[in-house]
Chains A and B, each alone.
Chain A
Amino acid sequence: MFAFIIRRALQAIGVLFAVGIISFAMFRFAGDPVNQIVSLDTPAAEREQVRRSLGLDDPVPLQFVRYLAKAAQGDFGVSYQFRQPVADLLTERMPATLELALCATLFATGFGVLMGVYSGLKRDSFLAKVFQTISLIGISLPTFLIGILLIYLFSVTLGWLPSYGRGDTVRLGWWTTGFLTLSGLKALIMPSITLGLFQMTLIMRIVRAEMLEVLRTDYIKFARARGLTTRAVHFGHALKNTLVPVITIVGLQFGSVIAFAIITETVFQWPGMGLLFVQAVQNVDIPIMAAYLMLVALIFVAINLAVDILYTIVDPRLRTTIRQPA
């Protein structure tokens, strides 16, 4: 098991290294780092001097190592459009994205499991068919259309919820939170639903399929034969076993939720990292794009590794199979 974790960690480092190369190539070749420092009308000689002082004359591998070393210390260069260090911009916006992603995941898991269990237990009921239809819509409708639809319903027509921004936030150290004010919580509702809907349908489908599978197994029959109540059989025995894949999916999807927040944040003008990234793409702000890529890669890889390790702890069968030589 230890060897397994080591191998996974090495793979993770490999992925990060590859992303580092891509991000460096973008930073170095797609955008000219000199432009970060000089203005448009700087003479060529002065540009050349800046180029030399930045070490852009050095061999490319040396520059790459320097770039990685700086990135590891949290220095991603300066944004073209904001003239501010990219790291500061990202830290400032990270809380907004993480809070949104957390709420979306909670929404998706809660409703996904409930709807999945219900449609697994009563697969022919009317409500189960409604859930199936919702899941088809959740997969077919592009995220931004769902967001627009919600805004039209709850902001324009009914006027219940704010259509953009985070509402009032409270500062706790460097972290800003919308959890502590009423307007902050209200502002979270629609973006969380928009972002979580796809994950919700995914979880619902998995739970439903797993429930149907588990209910057919022998130990459920034995539990029934022992005279346990239906409730105990369904929730004590069946549901527990469907939750392992759900935990995996929720974990693995958290990275995707953060990446998909790009779209939701644009629809709701949510001041997070995704909106920053979209503005960077629109204005060809390469340092932000490169840094965002590295950051998302780090989050993805860390989550994958954590899920792998958790899996070996949760499921003892995996430990024995891993020990056997492949």
Chain B
Amino acid sequence: MADAIQAVPTPQAQPTTWAGRFLDSDVWSSFKRSKLTMAAAFLTLLFMAAAVLAGFVAPQDPFDPAQLDLLNSRLPPLWEADGQAPFLLGTDEQGRDIFSAILYGLRISLAVGFLGVAFSATLGIALGLIAGYVGGTTDAVIMRIADVQLTFPAILIALLVDGVVKSVLGGQLDGVTTLSVLVFSIGLSFWVQYARTVRGSVMVEKNKDYIAAARLIGLPAPVIMVRHVLPNVLGPVLVIATINLALAIITEATLSFLGTGMPETMPSLGTLIRIGNNYLFSGEWWIVAFPGFSLALLVLAINLLGDWLRDALNPKLR
């Protein structure tokens, strides 16, 4: 009780710690008000925890062929008549436990999603900062490239980059290389939005007095860009990153579904759906249904979080 009273800050005493400032912010209070957002956040965290702890939670390592037994192939989920323990959600053609495969696939999908977003955000922020701060020809060149790229849907760019990189590397690629190629192609297809947003904010910020002051004390341009301009343009970037996480996960799943992404020996959720799709007609619906449902739920949860964050960080909507 006493804690609760102390936790309410007065305007005179601003909380100074990072956590205190966060609990005091409008973002946190808007989070507490929306039940849907809390559910979405819970689901997202659950998915992430499942992905990180896959090695401990999953009854089987689906990447290890030694643990697979063909006698267990195509078993239905546990609650159906022929279901067998420990295969909660049934098994696929190779006797792979669907539940374990989903956990490990989730890990790959999330890894590609996060790395792809990190790569595209870094690239976009860097190019946007340079374009906005330097201006002139540099700006024109970067923004023209962005314009041309924006004419095409991201999935098309990702497919093209994927194909070209594979042809340059040549031959059969192992799992980790394929994953890197995916991250690279997703990163290259989503940087434009960051660059445009950051450039717009930089154009506003760079004419303010604090930037002039930083210039006057003789700081070099890269330091001003990173230490002074960047922190002030990060708000919108966070919103784009959240929404793009969902997009990156969908793009990875789509590429894997199309057969140009993760291989069947190291499946992501998209690859699992691709595999399961082949058994739809022979009545083994669970091979495709559960990975598909997991993917849809994951994307929905992240999208809801992104929508909420966009509204919470937008002062106009308050």
| Interface set of A (CB-CB < 8 Å, partner B) | 14-15, 18-19, 26, 30-31, 136, 139-145, 148-149, 151-152, 155-156, 163, 255-256, 259-260, 262-263, 266-267, 277-278, 280-282, 284, 286, 289, 293, 296-297, 300-301, 304
Which of the residues A136, A142, A151, A289 comes within 8 Å of B163, measured between beta carbons?
A: A289
Query: With an 8 A cutoff between CB atoms, is B148 at the interface?
Result: yes
Q: How far is the CA of A69 from the CA of B168 in the complex (A)?
A: 26
Does A30 lie within 8 Å of B164, measured CB to CB?
A: yes
Query: With an 8 A cutoff between CB atoms, is B162 at the interface?
Result: yes
Q: Could you give 5 example pairs across A and B, Cβ below 8 Å?
A: A26-B160, A30-B164, A145-B296, A148-B273, A259-B153
Which of the residues A18, A260, A277, A301 comes within 8 Å of B153, measured between beta carbons?
A: A260
| Interface set of B (CB-CB < 8 Å, partner A) | 144-145, 147-148, 151-153, 155-156, 159-160, 162-164, 166-168, 246, 250, 253-254, 257-260, 273, 277, 280-281, 283, 285, 288, 292, 295-296, 299-300, 303
Q: How far is the CA of A11 from the CA of B166 in the complex (A)?
A: 32
* Given known contacts A142-B253, A145-B296, A304-B151, A152 and B162 CB-to-CB distance under 8 angstroms: no
Mostly, the A contact residues are: helix
Does A152 lie within 8 Å of B280, measured CB to CB?
A: yes
Does A142 lie within 8 Å of B156, measured CB to CB?
A: no
Q: How far is the CA of A104 from the CA of B10 in the complex (A)?
A: 57
Cβ-closest chain A residue relative to B156: A259
Q: How far is the CA of A306 from the CA of B144 in the complex (A)?
A: 21
Does A262 lie within 8 Å of B296, measured CB to CB?
A: no
Does B258 lie within 8 Å of A266, measured CB to CB?
A: yes
Q: How far is the CA of A34 from the CA of B316 in the complex (A)?
A: 59
Q: How far is the CA of A293 from the CA of B280 in the complex (A)?
A: 33
Q: How far is the CA of A208 from the CA of B34 in the complex (A)?
A: 24
Does B156 lie within 8 Å of A262, measured CB to CB?
A: yes
B145 to chain A, nearest CB (A): 8
A262: B residues at CB distance < 8 A: 155-156, 159, 258
Does B153 lie within 8 Å of A256, measured CB to CB?
A: yes
A250 to chain B, nearest CB (A): 16
Q: How far is the CA of A30 from the CA of B165 in the complex (A)?
A: 8
Cβ-closest chain B residue relative to A80: B167
B113 to chain A, nearest CB (A): 13
Does B280 lie within 8 Å of A259, measured CB to CB?
A: no
Which of the residues B145, B160, B254 comes within 8 Å of A289, measured between beta carbons?
A: B160
B283: A residues at CB distance < 8 A: 156
Does B151 lie within 8 Å of A141, measured CB to CB?
A: no
A199 to chain B, nearest CB (A): 12
B163: A residues at CB distance < 8 A: 280-281, 284, 286, 289
Most chain A CB atoms below 10 A, which of B156, B259, B299: B156
Does A278 lie within 8 Å of B273, measured CB to CB?
A: no
Q: How far is the CA of A106 from the CA of B159 in the complex (A)?
A: 27
